[in-house]
Amino acid sequence: MSPHTEAEAPLPWHAAGWQLLRQARAAGRLPHALLVTGPPGVGKRRLVRLLSRSLLCARPDAGGLACGHCRECELFAAGTHPDYLEIGPDPESKSDEIRVDAIRRLAASDALTAHRGGHKVIVLDPAQNMNLNAANSLLKTLEEPSPDTFLCLVCEQPGRLPATIRSRCQELRVPVPSEPQALEWLRAHTDSADAETLLRLAYGAPLRALALEQENRRQENRQQEDRLSQRTQAFAGFIAVAGGTRDPVAEAVAWNDHEPAILLDWLYSWVSDLLRLASGHPAPRLINQDQLEALRNLAQRLEPRAGHLYLMQLMEARADGYGSVNRLLLYESLLVHWARIFRSRDPALRQPGWQS
């Protein structure tokens, strides 16, 4: 029996990455800067936290995990370890940027020096949120690393980082587990009968699927519709707009209670599935398998090029962030565009009230 709780051990799909980190540390080849990448919900931050605890621990075990009992572990657990520092967006700012001041303070002070004789661990999260000035300032730190300082960048969109930053870090990609492994883990952590649907909606990421299930429970506890029911209703409107039986502006109003991050994620998955079905593949792997029949019928009417252009529009909307977006205008724009795709192929769907 392991002395560590589950939260103190790597997730099953982290095993290969954890082994690489252990071997690098044992051989004295642990990089001074590690870029940890992967999609949301695969446990990047959990892995980084385990590594940070291990580096600061005075007596890590044979598996490389922190002992949990030494003074260093006690300080870390209390959130007061002087050699552990997290850098992220200013919580008091409306912007989600990591600004240059935070990086300059890091480089200009003794923040890069270990106070307790071991490692100094600095976690920058989410790294893709650095503005250009912050990234340029960090580059100086990466070019002249301090001894025993370990810098970890957590990033879900490494393409947004300057190439000069990426080239000075060693990348560790946290993978999406296989579906059987993910389902085994998810079913051990929830009694939901919709585990497979939740996992597909989370694009195979188990922690994201678990968060969806927990959100469902919170919704149910407030005697509101759960997230899956809300998705089903929004999907029905999405299909109706394409079929010309629902005004896109009216549907945008119905969608206005949904957060953009959630709604755009649903839209992206629906259009992706439609394009998979339209490709002619005999057995495409779908995210929204529970809506197969409606998707299959609509895919027969979707012109692939128009579908791909619409998917690019959704990708741009997701990349722009949601801080100051007017969600109603966003939803109106997306749904009017969606209706036009099908009106252009079927003149019978043109209705005077939909012209814009």
CATH number of the domain residue 102 falls in: 3.40.50.300
The answer to whether residue 205 sits within a structural domain is no
Q: How many CB atoms lie within 10 A of CB 60?
A: 19
- Do 159 and 29 share a domain, yes or no? yes
> Total structural domains in the chain?
2
- Do 250 and 321 share a domain, yes or no? yes
- Do 28 and 149 share a domain, yes or no? yes
- Do 270 and 154 share a domain, yes or no? no
The answer to whether residue 212 sits within a structural domain is no
- Do 30 and 166 share a domain, yes or no? yes
- Residue 287 CA to chain centroid, in angstroms? 16
Domain region containing 79:
6-173
- Do 148 and 275 share a domain, yes or no? no
Helix, strand, coil share (%) of the chain residues, nearest 5:
55, 10, 35
- Do 160 and 256 share a domain, yes or no? no
The answer to whether residue 14 sits within a structural domain is yes
Beta bridge partners of 153: 35, 124
* Domain limit, last residue, from 157, 173, 189: 173
Q: Return the CATH number at 275.
A: 1.20.272.10
- Do 291 and 167 share a domain, yes or no? no
- Do 229 and 155 share a domain, yes or no? no
* Domain limit, last residue, from 153, 173, 193: 173
The answer to whether residue 184 sits within a structural domain is no
* pLDDT string in tens for the chain (356-residue length): 345 666 778 999 999 999 999 999 999 999 999 999 999 999 999 999 999 999 999 999 999 999 999 999 999 999 999 999 999 998 888 788 999 998 887 766 556 677 887 889 999 999 999 999 999 999 988 888 787 889 999 999 999 999 999 999 999 999 999 999 999 999 999 887 788 888 988 889 999 999 888 876 766 555 445 778 899 999 999 999 999 999 999 999 999 989 898 899 999 999 999 999 998 887 788 999 999 999 999 999 999 999 999 999 998 888 776 556 789 999 999 999 999 999 865 544 444 443 33
The answer to whether residue 189 sits within a structural domain is no
The answer to whether residue 208 sits within a structural domain is no
* Domain limit, last residue, from 154, 173, 192: 173
The answer to whether residue 186 sits within a structural domain is no
Q: Residue 110 has what pLDDT?
A: 57
- Do 165 and 280 share a domain, yes or no? no
Laid out side by side, the sheet with 120-124 consists of: 84-87, 120-124, 149-155, 33-37, 170-173
CB 255 within 8 A of CB 237: yes
Q: Is the peptide bond before 91 cis (omega within 30 degrees of 0)?
A: no
pTM of the model: 0.73
- Do 130 and 37 share a domain, yes or no? yes
Contacts of 126 (CB under 8 A, 6+ apart): 88, 98, 154, 155, 156
Strand residue runs (E) in the chain: 33-37, 84-87, 120-124, 149-155, 170-173
The answer to whether residue 218 sits within a structural domain is no
Q: Residue 96 has what pLDDT?
A: 86
Paired sense of beta strands 170-173 and 149-155, if any? unpaired
